Structure 1
Amino acid sequence: MSETVATDYLDCLLKSWSTKSNEPLSWLNQLRARAIDHVSTQRLPTKRDEEWRFTDISALTRLSFQSAQPHTNLQTQDIEHLYLKEAKSSLVFVDGYYSPQLSTHVDPAVLQVGNLSTFLLTHASVLESHFGQYVKFDNNVFAALNTAFLRDCALIIAPKNTAIAEPVHLLFIATQSEVTCYPRCLIIGEPGSNVTFVEDYVSLRETAYVTNSVTEISLSANAHARHIRIQRESAQAYHLANCAVSLAHGSNYQSVSISLGAQISRYNLNVQLVDEAAECTIDGLALISDNQLADTHTCIDHIKPNGISRQQHKCIVNDKAHAVFNGKIIVRPYAQQTNSSQSSRNLLLSKTAQIDTKPQLEIFADDVKCAHGATVGQLDQEEIFYLQSRGLSEATARSLLTYAFGAEIIDRIPVSSLRQQLAQTVLNQTRGNKL
């Protein structure tokens, strides 16, 4: 990517912002203004940057620079196949804008969910104390752009000592071509709360566009959250996402991330165990083919003692697709008695598929138990032969083994209807693979 093209792209965004941001400066608009100031001092990452050396995003600079506009033509029947039957609360955003007519809410006394305009009226001080506190934008141009162009947000507050049995569905639907959408989520778990939410990105059209999303999660003492993230956008789309999680004393965060769509996708997940006895389990699966590129960067940061983290990331790569995984675990000097493990397992389904994986450990404490490992390989020929000896064709044998490899992650999704949908998707995509 040339510096000129990248600069032109950011210049156009800066000009676009200036025509829409002349409201009186509240704390939120001040946050936006700080973010756009950081955009003006940064540049788009290139393959010369270490954290982006496998991911070339120069193609997105050739798209239109316009932000998506509100879209009001969708009806419930147009998207009913996307709803989750277990979810009593669904927040639907179309091209980044909240759609109240497509959304459903439970009793606010049980669970507080809504969008930005609603929560600014009722929880302004809470939002001010959390917005922009976890995903930093001082050295992250995409997080800065999301914050600068912030117009709406999916919000969940799980009340103190309350367990929410049903999942909350945060559904982000893309319908427009050659635009940029800026979805945002903020999830707050009060002390002793327990919540499950699904962050779901889908497209109704096979077209080119950009999704630039930010999710911030704050769990107070002994709070629990299960976060299922599904990226199944258009195969021509560009999906750039940042998620940051802050874990207080005794809190527990469980994440399952599935990446299926987009021409180029990049997901940055940063989890900080900021107090003692916090736990996290991070599972991920990328299933890509054709010329897709899926890049996942994670950082699990143990700051205080007695933290536990478990991570398993899998990639299934076919055709000329390229998967990237970089997983870093940091154990700070005061984080004694940390117990952490990380596994990167990768499956190549063609001779032209490519995987770059880099698990990392940075340990600054001496009383810890940490392990990591990575494997890259093909389907086991002996296992294929065994299944053939039981009467299956070679194609069926390959499909079943590939499906089993991915199903280990999908089976950890606690929402039955979504788990079945994704299992069928994986099965459909793995049929007839040949190496």
Structure 2
Amino acid sequence: MTRKISPMARQAVDHYITQSELLNNGCESDIVVEGRRRAQAILTNQGFPTQKDEDWQYTKLTGFVQERFNLAAKTEVKHQDIHALLPDFAVTKIVFVDGWFDEALSDDLSALPAGVSLESTRDTFEISGGDARLYAREEAINAEPFGVLNNLFLADGFYLQVSRNVTVSVPVFVLYLQTQQNQISTLRNQIILEENSELTLVEQYVSLPDGASAGFKSLTNVVTEISVAKSARMKQVIVQQQAAEAYYFNNQFIFQADKSVFNTFYAGMGSKISRHQNHLRMDGEHIENSQNSACLAHDGEVVDSRTETQHNQVWGVSKQLHKYVLSGSAEGVFNGMIRVDQQAQKTDGNMDNKNLLLSESARMNTKPQLEIYADDVRCTHGSATGQINEDQIFYLQARGIPRKQAIEMITQAFLMEPAEQIDRAEIQAWVKSGLNDALQALQHKTLLSASASPKAAE
């Protein structure tokens, strides 16, 4: 059934279909071309979500559909341009520039340990069955509006496979650079951990310094599929630090088997709209996972984090902690769903969302949900939103700490709690440093906004 689409949205749909066809010209994979055209048909019929769609009620795309992002041409970035972005601990580095794998900036992937395969998605087009593998979960991906857009522009990303009983001791670090104005970066990633393997993955999304200037607009659209086999263990950290006018959409589809462990942490540090979603299925017994996030935003920014956790078998444990700090007229959105199947007895599920508003005009929309069909479970959810308690400020002031510094200390302690769940000390320190820098910038903007307000001038 074709939805009613506004003239502005229809123009956007036509633009992106035209851009998609540019990719199809000369594409080496008929399977990928056919997949893009199926996505074109869906986009033509459905358009983009509006506030009438429940899942998009608080994340308004009105401004987005007025933009016209284009395919990014390959551009040159030098090693010195990214040196300051790299973590200060040992990693295996893979770099994407405007959505394209950059071999020159990446480490030698052929030197990875035995049992580890890491290559760009574009390279998998040439492997027998490699392109077809990208569409194994096409229906689930196309159920998400920006999953459709991802299939529309599917071109690059990475494929990572860890063989049975292999432990990857050095973290894999993926750096995604956005360098060009009004460009689209589309990433399709696939991660497979075979039985009893182990991996730590760190991902960072950045607009380069010259690209982070006021008015720099871009679109990053990511789909990642993660398969964690029996007794495998994966730790993931994602840091989003793009420009204030950037759009960021990331859909992760995670599948866990018996006795596997999956821990993910997301840091959202602002952009025009950032929407990060985990779709997690626990398809075995004795599975454990954690999904934590720390997000902050200022004037005109929308930060949206969502989780959908499906307990399908017995003795599953899922833990979540999501914290937001919002200032100015920023908007936050959190929606978490824990579903417990009838046969998923002995489930232990916990989800907590806490939000700190640094201004009267900041707004938070939160919706934690439980849907339980089993009778022997322990599941809880909670949410709290408010401003800093004056008693906390008074307590610190009574010990000689100035009010401004007291507020900064309380806010920092609040935001850092989810990051403290990262168990590798060097990664935790790196994440906290980035969060602290972003928080200081946000607090500086908050002070400027307060001093410029009519009330402050009275």
| Fold shared per TM-score above 0.5 | yes
Q: What SS does the aligned partner of 1:35 have?
A: helix
Alignment of structure 1 residues 83-162 onto 2, 5 Å = 83-104=86-107, 105=109, 106-121=111-126, 124-125=128-129, 128-129=132-133, 131-133=135-137, 136-162=140-166
The separation in 1 between residues aligned to 2:248 and 2:277, in whole angstroms, is 11
- Tell me which residue corresponds to 1:294: 303
Offset at 1:296?
1.3
- Tell me which residue corresponds to 2:221: 212
- Tell me which residue corresponds to 2:455: none
The verdict on how the C-alpha distance between 1:135 and 1:256 changes in structure 2, with shifts beyond 3 A counting, is: farther
CA contact (8 A) 1:169 1:198 kept: yes
Offset at 1:4?
1.1
Offset at 1:250?
1.0
Letter in 2 for 1:19: L
Query: Cα deviation per residue 1:66-93 (whole Å; 9 max; x = unaligned)?
Result: 2111112x10001111112324311100
The separation in 2 between residues aligned to 1:134 and 1:166, in whole angstroms, is 32
The verdict on how the C-alpha distance between 1:416 and 1:52 changes in structure 2, with shifts beyond 3 A counting, is: closer
For structure 1, the 5+ residue unaligned runs are none
The number of residue pairs the alignment matches comes to 433
Query: Cα deviation per residue 1:250-283 (whole Å; 9 max; x = unaligned)?
Result: 1111010010021111112111101212111000
Q: What SS does the aligned partner of 1:277 have?
A: coil
Offset at 1:125?
3.7
Percent same amino acid at aligned positions?
30
Tell me whether 1:250 sits opposite 2:262 in the alignment. Answer: no
Alignment of structure 1 residues 230-241 onto 2, 5 Å = 230-241=239-250
- Tell me which residue corresponds to 2:10: 7
CA contact (8 A) 1:311 1:342 kept: yes
- Tell me which residue corresponds to 2:453: none
Offset at 1:30?
3.3
Letter in 1 for 2:117: Q
The verdict on how the C-alpha distance between 1:212 and 1:430 changes in structure 2, with shifts beyond 3 A counting, is: closer
The separation in 2 between residues aligned to 1:424 and 1:374, in whole angstroms, is 24
The separation in 2 between residues aligned to 1:135 and 1:88, in whole angstroms, is 34
Tell me whether 1:28 sits opposite 2:40 in the alignment. Answer: no
Of 333, 336, 354 in structure 1, the residue corresponding to residue 345 of structure 2 is 336
TM-score (norm 2): 0.89
The verdict on how the C-alpha distance between 1:397 and 1:132 changes in structure 2, with shifts beyond 3 A counting, is: farther
CA contact (8 A) 2:100 2:156 kept: yes
Q: What SS does the aligned partner of 1:397 have?
A: helix
CA contact (8 A) 1:252 1:279 kept: yes
**What do you get for the CA RMSD once the two structures are aligned?**
2.1
CA contact (8 A) 1:248 1:276 kept: yes
CA contact (8 A) 1:135 1:143 kept: no
Letter in 2 for 1:365: A
- Tell me which residue corresponds to 1:319: 328
- Tell me which residue corresponds to 1:40: 44
The verdict on how the C-alpha distance between 1:108 and 1:32 changes in structure 2, with shifts beyond 3 A counting, is: farther
- Tell me which residue corresponds to 1:424: 436
Offset at 1:424?
3.0
Offset at 1:128?
3.6
Of 83, 86, 107 in structure 2, the residue corresponding to residue 80 of structure 1 is 83
Q: What SS does the aligned partner of 1:137 have?
A: helix
The separation in 2 between residues aligned to 1:119 and 1:2, in whole angstroms, is 36
- Tell me which residue corresponds to 2:207: 203
Offset at 1:431?
4.5
Of 245, 260, 265 in structure 1, the residue corresponding to residue 269 of structure 2 is 260
Moved more, 60-69 or 402-411: 60-69
Letter in 1 for 2:15: C
Query: Cα deviation per residue 1:271-312 (whole Å; 9 max; x = unaligned)?
Result: 110121211100011111122111112100111111110011
Q: What SS does the aligned partner of 1:103 have?
A: coil
CA contact (8 A) 2:218 2:247 kept: yes
Letter in 2 for 1:94: V
TM-score (norm 1): 0.94
The separation in 2 between residues aligned to 1:300 and 1:154, in whole angstroms, is 25
CA contact (8 A) 1:91 1:114 kept: no
Tell me whether 1:189 sits opposite 2:201 in the alignment. Answer: no
CA contact (8 A) 1:219 1:251 kept: yes
Q: What stretches of structure 1 move > 6 A for 4+ residues in a row?
A: none
Tell me whether 1:66 sits opposite 2:90 in the alignment. Answer: no
Moved more, 217-226 or 424-433: 424-433
Tell me whether 1:356 sits opposite 2:365 in the alignment. Answer: yes
CA contact (8 A) 1:349 1:378 kept: yes
Offset at 1:411?
2.4
Q: What SS does the aligned partner of 2:294 have?
A: strand
Moved more, 322-331 or 27-36: 27-36
Offset at 1:18?
2.3
